[in-house]
Amino acid sequence: MGREDEAVDAMEIDDQRQLVEAPAAVPEGFNADYLRVYYGKLFPYGDFFKWLSYGNDGKHPGCDQSYVGRREFSFTLENDIYLRFQSFDSAAELESSIKEKCPFKIDIGPVYSVDPSKRHAYAQSGNNVFVPVERELIFDIDISDYDDVRYCCSGADVCLDCWPLMTIAIKILDTSLRGMSFCYAVKSDSQLMILVSITYCGYTVVAVVSIAGSVIAEQENLAMNKGLLLLTTFESIRRSYTDVLKSFFEDKLLQSQQLFASEERCQKILDLIPDENVASELHDKWQGNRRSSISKEDVSVGRWEQLKTTLQSGKNKVRVSAPAVLLASPYLLCLVLIRMLLPISGQGLRRCVEEIVFSYTYPRLDMEVSKHMNHLLKAPFCIHPKTGRVCVPIDPNDCDDFDPTSVPTLSQLLGELNAAGFQTDSENSWERTSLEKSIRFFRTSFLQPLLKACKEELESAYNAKLQQSKNSLNW
């Protein structure tokens, strides 16, 4: 009996040795014993490994049999013990190692030029052959980067009032990447990662991530920093504003975050108006009616309408210096430069409305994660050690209905397993738990179309290679 089997047997769930008697009896939280049951019965090893193989685990003559063995896996064990540069040649090897080591966190690294677990042997040869060559294109968005525009939560905390900021990020990136197949989002409590496995400019993105990833990510980031100019430059950015951002800001964010409910919050928005006379005029109006008995939600709506009416009237045509407060905001620094170079006309003031909406709502990407090969990606379906929630994929088509507070927890899944009366040798135990929907979506909407495209690409490349060989022989 292997070590991993002993760990699972210690938590056997049956009539003789039940961990709990009912779902409600499973204590909330995160611990190694719960995790062993999860890894023993629920983690989708097969689907997970097939994804990262990209069709190279089959018998097709065009497969690169060394491909998946050059992928790095990183395990974080209990007490923050890190195991980097793990590699596996099969799903069975991966499963055995995870069950044995019971990692509290699983991260995915790049595909290297050689097996990462044998990197020291290659280093001794004196040749610098151990380098990353491929990695998924990743857009990493952290909810804490929105702390300056949300007032319900901060840091890694999230609720239903601020989660829509992540929903908007999914919609914007999904719209921008539409036509590039196999885009899906992974929710990881405080983070949202948009994973894309696509063909870009004739190459698979994983092969050109240092180029394609940089181009796409920088274009998206420019939209955040230069929303004013890109509204008239990029069609996708214009659609983002008219189809998504404007209605979200006015119908949801304005009231859920009560953006005008205090003088400090009002001042934050007024600081985005480059005409000091206009900002002062609005400030005086709002100071005059601050003792009004209307609700904070109605105050926010009313003041926003006043601001739009004033800015869109186009009466002010004054060149002014950029407010010093803008210099402190990394998201608005480029807007400061734009204002210093261009005269502030009535048209420019009208654009301040769009500018404010962009500043509050546009996805805030971590550029370094998208551009560089050395960042690790948190694996889908691993467990967040602080909350005990599963890292699940989100369907962009249904992201409005996604509730981050209802994501399955480790203890919830164990309770469901116990209630179903599953034995330790049961297959596909996840089908009778709340994890079933997430695994099926990952398999049918992402994995199966991806593998079909990978197979076609492998066959095409193999046939082209054969034809090239024939042409050489004929010559």
pLDDT band at 475 (very low <50, low <70, confident <90, very high): low
Q: pLDDT of 424-472, one tens digit each?
A: 456 788 988 999 999 999 999 989 988 888 888 888 888 888 888 777 7
Catalytic residues: 72, 140, 142
- Each as own residue / partner, the long-range contacts of residues 143-151 (CB below 8 Å, 24 or more positions apart, any chain) are 143/190, 143/191, 143/192, 144/190, 145/364, 145/366, 146/364, 148/268, 148/329, 149/257, 149/259, 149/359, 149/360, 150/257, 151/257, 151/258, 151/265
pLDDT of residue 215: 43
Residues 156-166: what's their mean pLDDT? 91
Asked if residue 38 has pLDDT above 70, the reply is yes
Would you place residue 236 in the very low, low, confident or very high pLDDT band (cuts 50, 70, 90)? low
**Digit-coded pLDDT (tens) for 239-256:** 788 888 999 999 999 999
Whether the per-residue pLDDT at 257 is higher than 70: the answer is yes
Domain ranges of the chain: 3-135+373-464, 217-361
Hey, what are 185's tokens?
A: 């989002």
Report, as an integer, the average pLDDT of 355-366. Answer: 88
Residue range 31-59: mean pLDDT, rounded: 92
DSSP-based three-state secondary structure for 91 = helix
The CATH class of 3-135+373-464 is: alpha beta
What pLDDT score was predicted for residue 179?
53
Segment 180-197, tens digit of pLDDT? 544 445 555 555 555 544
Q: What tokens does 432 get?
A: 């009778």
Q: How confident is the model at residue 10 (pLDDT cuts 50, 70, 90)?
A: very low
Q: What is the pLDDT of residue 39?
A: 96
Maximum average pLDDT range among 1-10, 233-242, 399-408 = 399-408
Long-range contacts of residues 332-338, Cβ cutoff 8 Å, at least 24 apart = 332/225, 332/272, 332/359, 333/225, 334/222, 334/225, 334/226, 335/225, 335/226, 335/227, 335/228, 335/359, 338/226, 338/228, 338/229
Residues constituting the chain: 475
**3-class DSSP state of 417:** helix
8-state DSSP, 250: I
On the CB side of 179, CA atoms within 13 Å amount to: 6
Q: Which of 226-230, 267-271, 288-292 has the lowest mean pLDDT?
A: 226-230
| Mean pLDDT value across residues 296-318 | 78
Global pTM reads 0.75
Q: How much is the mean pLDDT over the chain? A: 76
Region 113-129: mean pLDDT is 81
